[in-house]
Structure 1
Amino acid sequence: MTCPIERKLVAMGLALPPSAPSRALFLPGKITGNLLVLSGQICEWEGVPQYFGPVGAVFDIAVGQKAAQLCALNLLFSIKAVAGSLSRVRSVVRLGGFVAAGPGYPDGPQIVNGASQLFIDLWGDAGRHARTAVNVSSLPANALVEIDAMVELSE
């Protein structure tokens, strides 16, 4: 049976990916105390990148937000895999967002909003979080966006 958060995803026309394979030697997440620290996830579906960087001078921010949302869906997969259920999330503490962009690109934070908005839509005020959003010269697999996170878990 699915949890209420997964039912919200379905109502939004979204779904968890069937898998979120790792590209290197790291865990998808690690629990310490009541915190789950999640490794960065790029904008891929079952290991296949879907959006590529770097952002050009003329770029549709909505496309970038979809890429960030896909990163967030991979993070949700990791939460469920490590914590056992998305229902264990008490609050989203922090997101870190990375956007592949050239020098001077001003809208990286707007792109990362695609991930932030999904967590807020799913958990309401408990989904609001501290955040970093930075532009970088490149990301793994030439991905457009990578997002990492930290969430507080219930017992």
Structure 2
Amino acid sequence: MTNLIEERLEELGIVLPVAPAKGGNYKPIKRFSNEKLAYFSGFGSTTESFQIFGKLGKKVTREQGYEAAKSCILNLLAAFQRDVGSLDQIGSFVKMLVFVSSDNEFYQQPEVANGATDLLVDIFGEEIGLPARSAIGVNVLPGNIPVEIEVLVELKDK
């Protein structure tokens, strides 16, 4: 079977990070509905090569937040490869919830979330990669990360 998504990552010069270890007593990815859907727990932005901490609008810029959202997506794709298999099994990103650690006067959460959806569209195309989405400002996130993302994915029929 051809790995089209892995080839697309290579074309874009994207190397997935090492999949993050889980940070508690939960499943990073939970398949359900006859294994047709996969729910991704919240994935943060921290990788070996991406280390930004703090709140948007205070210590972290909107541009850095955009990059943090992209890093969250790379982490969740790496976890999918580790825990499920080929990224070509992904049929559609259905829903995305983006948490943005925000200063009280920061109102650009959707622009930060665009980092995640822009990257998914670049990799998977609009039909598969563009989910319904919410972007929410929160007071703090675990480990002082600026962005955390969870998604619901529909898998292709086997």
Q: Would you say same fold, with TM above 0.5?
A: yes
Aligned match of 1:3? 3
Aligned match of 2:77? 76
Counterpart among 129, 140, 143 of residue 141 in structure 1: 143
Q: After alignment, is 16-25 or 52-61 more displaced?
A: 52-61
Structure 1 consecutive aligned stretches of length 4 or more whose deviation exceeds 4 Å: none
Q: Is the 8 A contact 2:53 2:60 kept in 1?
A: no
**5+ residue gaps, structure 2:** none
Q: Is the 8 A contact 1:52 1:143 kept in 2?
A: yes
Question: C-alpha displacement at 1:107, in angstroms?
Answer: 0.5
Alignment of 1:32-71 (within 5 A): 32-33=32-33, 34-45=36-47, 50-57=51-58, 60-71=61-72
Q: After alignment, is 141-150 or 101-110 more displaced?
A: 101-110
Q: Which amino acid aligns with 1:120?
A: V
Question: C-alpha displacement at 1:18, in angstroms?
Answer: 1.9
Q: Distance in 2 between matches of 1:25 and 1:72?
A: 21
Aligned match of 1:28? 28
Q: Which amino acid aligns with 2:11?
A: A
Counterpart among 147, 151, 154 of residue 153 in structure 2: 151
**5+ residue gaps, structure 1:** none
TM-score scaled by structure 2? 0.89
TM-score scaled by structure 1? 0.91
Question: C-alpha displacement at 1:54, in angstroms?
Answer: 0.8
For these two proteins, the number of residue pairs brought into alignment is: 154
Question: C-alpha displacement at 1:6, in angstroms?
Answer: 1.7
Question: C-alpha displacement at 1:57, in angstroms?
Answer: 5.0
Q: Is the 8 A contact 1:38 1:78 kept in 2?
A: no
- What is the SS of the residue equivalent to 1:51? coil
Q: After alignment, is 144-153 or 76-85 more displaced?
A: 76-85
CA RMSD of aligned residues (A): 2.0
- What is the SS of the residue equivalent to 1:18? coil
- What is the SS of the residue equivalent to 2:114? helix
Q: Which amino acid aligns with 2:56?
A: V
Q: Distance in 1 between matches of 2:59 and 2:84?
A: 40
Q: Which amino acid aligns with 2:4?
A: P
Q: Which amino acid aligns with 2:8?
A: K
- What is the SS of the residue equivalent to 2:104? coil
Q: Distance in 2 between matches of 1:53 and 1:135?
A: 13
